Amino acid sequence: FATNAVAAATPLSVVAINQTDASRQFSTQPFATVGSPQSWSLSAITIDPLRSRIFTADALAGEIAALELRDDGLHNVWTAHQRTSEFLALIDQAQRRVLVGTDVPPGETIGANTHDWVVWRNADTGDEIARSSLLPEFSTGTMVQPGYAGRMYYLGLDGTFIELRARPTSEI
């Protein structure tokens, strides 16, 4: 689980507790070095149990991260600059996971923004794969919904319903 669902003056922590042996607990603060005076994460963490990965975000730090749970603790796999207060969706097969979430444009205040992008990232590396055009604001604390055949559904706060599909720009 992650802390700071309410804005806090301390960095967000991600905590893992073994369900069989509660004395085995791990904790990390993936955004502690960002230097943000506050932390806020409305969304829950996103889990990939097949890869022992945990994905999290901090809206005020403006970062998302992938952590890996190992026998000796939680390890940072990657971090990326992405300002979101929404849940992150994990899609595709275990060998080629993609992480999808929103990103608030620079200059707009998170939680009072008027636009968002949708960003697709390689879940293993954090590299950006695709980015939507600028869209009307999204409802804070929700998620871009996965659909069939790679489709994602974006529900704009203004009532728009947008179907998104990321496609390769060329065949390899």
CA distance 33 to 80: 13
Residue 106 has pLDDT above 50, yes or no: yes
Lowest mean pLDDT among 68-72, 133-137, 157-161: 157-161
Helix or strand run (H / E) with residue 63: strand 63-70
Please give the pLDDT value at position 168. 59
Over residues 12-48, the pLDDT tens digits come to 889 999 889 999 999 999 999 888 888 888 788 999 9
Arithmetic mean of pLDDT, 142-152: 90
pLDDT at 171 over 70: no
Euclidean distance between CA atoms 75 and 67, whole angstroms: 5
Highest mean pLDDT: which range of 42-46, 112-116, 165-169: 112-116
Closest CA to 64 of 156, 126, 106, 1: 126
Average pLDDT, the chain: 89
Instruction: Name the more confident of 135 and 4.
Output: 135
Residues 6+ apart with CB under 8 A from 88: 43, 46, 55, 56, 57, 64, 99, 100, 101, 143
Mean pLDDT in residue range 79-90? 94
Segment among 89-98, 134-143, 160-169 with least mean pLDDT: 160-169
Range scoring the smallest mean pLDDT among 34-48, 84-98, 111-125: 34-48
Q: Please state the pTM of the whole predicted model.
A: 0.90
